[in-house]
Amino acid sequence: MRLSAILIRLVAFAAAAAGSYAAARTTVAVVEERSVIAVQETLVDKGYEWASVLGDGLQVILQGEAPSEAVRFRAISAAGEMVDASRVIDNLSVADSEVLAPPEFAIEILRNDRGVSLIGLIPAATDRETLADRIADIADGQPVTDLLEVGDYPQPDTWNSALNYALRALELLPRSKISVNARRVAIEAISDSPEEKRQLETALARNPPDGVRRAITISAPRPVISPFTTRFVIDDAGPRFDACAADTEEAMQMILTAASEAGFHDRANCTLALGAPSRRWAEAVSMSISAIGELGGGTVTVSDTDVTLVAPLGTGQGTFDNVVGELENALPEAFALSSELPVAQEVSTEGPPQFTATLSPEGQVQLRGRVPDDITNTVAKNYATAKFSEQKITMGTRIAEGLPAGWSVRILAGIEVLSELSNGAVVVEPTTIQIRGNTGNQDASAAISRLLIDKLGQGAKFEIDVTYVEQLDPIAGLPTPEECVEQIKIVTENRKITFDPSSADISANALAVVDDIAEILKRCGDLRIRVAGYTDSQGREEMNLNLSQQRAESVLTALRSRRVPVGTFTAIGYGEADPIADNDSEEGREANRRIEFSLIVPEPVVEETSTLDAIAAEAVENTTPQETPAEDSSDSTNE
């Protein structure tokens, strides 16, 4: 009996053990299957289809080839989100890495009143010391923050030209942000005035880098005009603006619309400026222009909040009263109207007293006419000397009695107006001032109007006939690069840059030629010039080559000492190559010993740009050097 009870217990225990084992196996299989499914689905959802999942009990085995080490790590992490990370077995491999692409070399440069800062990555081949010295020269004593890193990768072909262009721009722009890479230079800067903005844009357009796009944005603050003035005239010559100012684009459009309705159809040089005395400025100006349109002529001047209307001679009193009355009642609050209906005056047989100031194209100034006393005569001469120069003043004035009150003020105002012209004349009379002449300033008429109103008051009468001449504009009148080279050719046609015998020292009698060339190049702005040296065939070829190189460099040094910007110039010696005459005669050898100035002319290339680049950046010319020789015959001896 006892044996039977023990056996039963053993059988029961074995049965329980077998059941537990079977249950455990089933449980593990279920857990394994669910873990594998969960991990596989997660990997597929996250884009890791290349990975396969196997189960080994409670362990999850990842197999497959990851494209990179980073992707492999992310796949393991994704699996660890579904099961305990300790259960994940990493059997993943990583594909062989391709050659790493070099990083993009780029610099961000910021310059302001507190100094210059640079951050970015530059090629190891960049001359770091030269770059630092150049930045320090540009900073001119201000602090330089250099956060540049160096990458030892091949330097792009266009890197140096892009960087040099950026540094030249940085030198011109004291408040700027410049972004540079091998493909593009983006410049954002602030100028002090619209005139300076034009000068900077012209300078930056002079010498673009080869194969590099540019995006240049230079902003200029709006000028502050005081008094804020618009003057509109309708006379025998037709409707015109002597001065036009607006505070917004909408205000300008409102003013021009009123002028168009009054018969004005030319191009108006209205200035967007600060200083408008009222938000309703354009409304007041438009009403005033419409008023003289109704009168059929006359002059209206709106200066700050003062409106002065002068009707044309012969206007009926009733018409004048109606138009002036309507305008006075319609003007916005704070604007005050004064009006005048001229009456014909008797003409004296002697004519009205006059004072005339003329300025010739050569800069000669003549002052003629009547002055009230010696003091006024001396003041007029001194004032003209301050505006022009003493050696250019010719006095033809005479002292006379009975001149109108305020005559001295009108004389000085006329001299100051003359200084706004490149050439012309100012005629001062008791009731009006006539100004005619030429100028290189597109805003000269407006400036003259504001000046006379400021000096003589709101009711001042004057006639302005000033013509803008582009050739007189110091910016628009700059010679083209081809014209500059042609000027050098003319200067050196009968004169040569000569050197001391067997030397690279420029001879004393050739310094005047170098001075003339330097003056031409200063007016030409930033050009790409090749200074080439040539010799005759006497002597050894290697010696001639070295001597020609030294002489070309000597010319470049001489120009630099005369403050010519030669950063984009190249000096090259060609020795006895390319003779222009026969070396068998002394005359031919003399002709072959020469210096030539050549313009490196860019040739445009078609390059693909993205839509964003096309909007943000200018298309730039990719250049191949070509020479436009401006013979500047050069040396005296080869020996």
pTM of the model: 0.51
pLDDT digits (tens, 9 = 90+) for 531-560: 999 988 888 888 889 988 999 999 989 998
Q: Which pLDDT score, from 0 to 100, does residue 205 have? A: 80
What is the C-alpha separation between 355 and 371, in angstroms, rounded? 8
Could you give the percent of the chain with pLDDT greater than 90? 30
Q: Which pLDDT score, from 0 to 100, does residue 186 have? A: 93
The H-or-E segment that residue 134 falls in is: helix 128-139
User: How much is the mean pLDDT over the chain?
Assistant: 83
Paired strand residues for 307: 302, 337
Q: Name which of 39-43, 456-460, 480-484, 600-604 the model is least confident about.
A: 600-604
Give 469's pLDDT tier (boundaries 50, 70, 90).
confident
pLDDT digits (tens, 9 = 90+) for 299-350: 999 999 999 999 998 899 989 999 999 999 999 989 999 998 987 665 555 5
What is the C-alpha separation between 40 and 62, in angstroms, rounded? 9
Place of tokens 């504001």: 450
Q: Which pLDDT score, from 0 to 100, does residue 30 have? A: 66
What is the C-alpha separation between 434 and 412, in angstroms, rounded? 14
Q: Which residues contact 237 (CB under 8 A, 6 or more apart)?
A: 465
Q: Do 229 and 300 touch, CB atoms closer than 8 A? A: no
CA geometry: angle 469, 206, 560, nearest 5 deg: 105
Q: Is 602 helix (H, G, I), strand (E, B) or coil?
A: coil
What is the C-alpha separation between 389 and 357, in angstroms, rounded? 14
What is the C-alpha separation between 530 and 425, in angstroms, rounded? 45
Average of per-residue pLDDT across 344-368: 80
Length of the chain equals 639
Residues of 617-636 as b/e, b for ≥16 C-beta within 10 angstroms? beebbbbeeeeeebbbbbbb
Residues of 243-279 as b/e, b for ≥16 C-beta within 10 angstroms? bbbbbeeebbebbbebbeebebeeebebbebebbbbe
Q: Do 624 and 605 touch, CB atoms closer than 8 A? A: no
Q: Is the pLDDT of residue 264 over 70?
A: yes
Average of per-residue pLDDT across 616-629: 40
What is the C-alpha separation between 183 and 156, in angstroms, rounded? 9
Q: Do 302 and 449 touch, CB atoms closer than 8 A? A: no
Distances (CA, A) of 198 to 113, 190, 206, 298, 408: 22, 12, 12, 36, 38
Per the structure block, which two tokens stand in for 602?
């860019």
Q: Which pLDDT score, from 0 to 100, does residue 625 have? A: 40
Q: Is the pLDDT of residue 628 over 50?
A: no
What is the C-alpha separation between 163 and 132, in angstroms, rounded? 13
Q: Which pLDDT score, from 0 to 100, does residue 356 have? A: 93
Q: Which pLDDT score, from 0 to 100, does residue 43 have? A: 84
Q: Is the pLDDT of residue 61 over 50?
A: yes
pLDDT digits (tens, 9 = 90+) for 236-261: 889 999 889 999 989 999 999 999 99
pLDDT digits (tens, 9 = 90+) for 390-436: 668 888 888 888 888 889 999 999 999 999 999 999 999 988 999 99
Q: Do 229 and 450 touch, CB atoms closer than 8 A? A: yes
Q: Is the pLDDT of residue 189 over 50?
A: yes
Q: Are strands 213-219 and 184-190 parallel, antiparallel or unpaired?
A: parallel
Place of tokens 């002052």: 367
Q: Tell me how far the alpha carbon of residue 102 is from its chain's centroid.
A: 32
Q: Which pLDDT score, from 0 to 100, does residue 137 have? A: 87
Which is more confidently placed, 608 or 19? Answer: 19
What is the C-alpha separation between 448 and 460, in angstroms, rounded? 12
Q: Is the pLDDT of residue 25 over 80?
A: no
Place of tokens 């068998």: 584
Give 604's pLDDT tier (boundaries 50, 70, 90).
very low
What is the C-alpha separation between 447 and 382, in angstroms, rounded? 23
Orientation angle between helical segments 511-524 and 481-491, nearest 10 degrees: 170
Could you give the percent of the chain with pLDDT greater than 70? 86
pLDDT digits (tens, 9 = 90+) for 72-113: 888 888 888 887 877 888 888 887 655 556 788 999 999 998
What is the C-alpha separation between 377 and 370, in angstroms, rounded? 9
Q: Is the pLDDT of residue 624 over 50?
A: no
Spatial CA neighbour of 143 closest among 168, 111, 166: 111
Average of per-residue pLDDT across 576-600: 85
Give 590's pLDDT tier (boundaries 50, 70, 90).
confident
Q: Which pLDDT score, from 0 to 100, does residue 79 have? A: 83
Give 627's pLDDT tier (boundaries 50, 70, 90).
very low
Q: Do 380 and 397 touch, CB atoms closer than 8 A? A: yes
Separation of first and last alpha carbons in the chain: 139
CA geometry: angle 617, 104, 568, nearest 5 deg: 60
Q: Is the pLDDT of residue 637 over 60?
A: no
Spatial CA neighbour of 406 closest among 448, 372, 382: 372
Q: Name which of 28-37, 48-57, 388-397 the model is least confident about.
A: 28-37
Q: Which residues contact 178 (CB under 8 A, 6 or more apart)?
A: 107, 108, 109, 110, 111, 166, 169, 170, 185, 186, 187, 188
